[in-house]
Amino acid sequence: MPPSIFLSVIIPAYNEENRLRKSLPPARDYLQRQDFAWEVIVIDDGSSDNTAGVSEDIFAESGVRVIRNPGNRGKGYSVRQGVFAARGEILLFSDADFSTPVREFTKLYSALQQGYDVAIGSRSLPDSNVTVHQAWYREGMGRLFNRLVRCLVLDGFIDTQCGFKAFRKEVALPIFSKMTIDRFSFDVEFLYIARKRGLRIKEIPVEWENVLYSRVNIVRDSARMLFDLFKIRWNNFRKSYDLP
């Protein structure tokens, strides 16, 4: 009988062939040095390039699964599919560019060992190490969005959008089954439901390096993310997040 899987690494990817060629080999090398069983799940979100093929080639089809969405459905949708398909005890969600190196997982897992249910990477805590910053206007928009999150939906977190989060599968599945946001504000919805259900959440300072050519359109996606904050409030008003 094969060993049970301890860690599932979930990577949403849309036309990320070039980024994955650079980001996956270090992640693969790190995982292969560990003494636990693991898997990597790449969710191909309707890519028109060779995102799926590159992922399979780098891992030589060992330890990696590729899930193909029916078209471009969004980052939140993709992460949900990865969570539902994961077989690991611990789930780690990471952006395709691994702006936060996978070795920072040890920091998040330490928080889970201390009794926290969810551990999220943060670029904005005093001990965070941002080695390459975003353009000034993107950092400014990020700070503005976080203020809106704290005012409208969810107070208490400095950085909800860092693409590096870990949680136990058993506590994540009920949350993701209630989530409705398919694109970039899904992080806020996830944390909102987790807190509503009384889960313990720890924000962890991590290393982070900006990678050029962000997929986030600063005008279109910012407007959509703001709309989604109001959608979260509306869903809560309708009791969509309540337990059965």
Model pLDDT for residues 142-159, shown as the tens digit of each residue: 777 888 888 888 888 989
For residue 146, the model assigns a pLDDT of 80
> What are the residue boundaries of the structural domains of the chain, listed by start?
7-237
- Over residues 100-129, the pLDDT tens digits come to 999 999 999 999 999 999 999 998 888 998
Q: How many CB atoms lie under 10 A from the CB of residue 146?
A: 18
Per-residue pLDDT of the chain (244 residues; tens, 9 = 90+): 455 999 999 999 999 999 999 999 999 999 999 999 999 999 999 999 999 999 999 988 678 999 999 999 999 999 999 999 999 999 999 999 999 999 999 999 999 999 999 999 998 888 998 876 666 666 777 777 888 888 888 888 989 989 999 999 999 999 999 999 998 789 999 999 999 999 999 999 999 887 755 566 655 667 888 889 999 999 999 999 987 6
Question: In degrees, to the nearest 5, what angle opens at C-alpha 117 toward C-alphas 114 and 123?
Answer: 85
CA distances from 238 to 65, 231, 233 (A): 36, 10, 9
Helix (H, G, I), strand (E, B) or coil at 38: strand
May I ask the CATH architecture of the domain 7-237? Alpha-Beta Complex (3.90)
For residue 1, the model assigns a pLDDT of 42
For residue 215, the model assigns a pLDDT of 61
Q: In the numeric block, which tokens belong to residue 50? A: 């060779």
CA–CA dist 235, 215 (Å, integer): 27
Sign of CA dihedral 115, 118, 121, 127: negative
For residue 221, the model assigns a pLDDT of 67
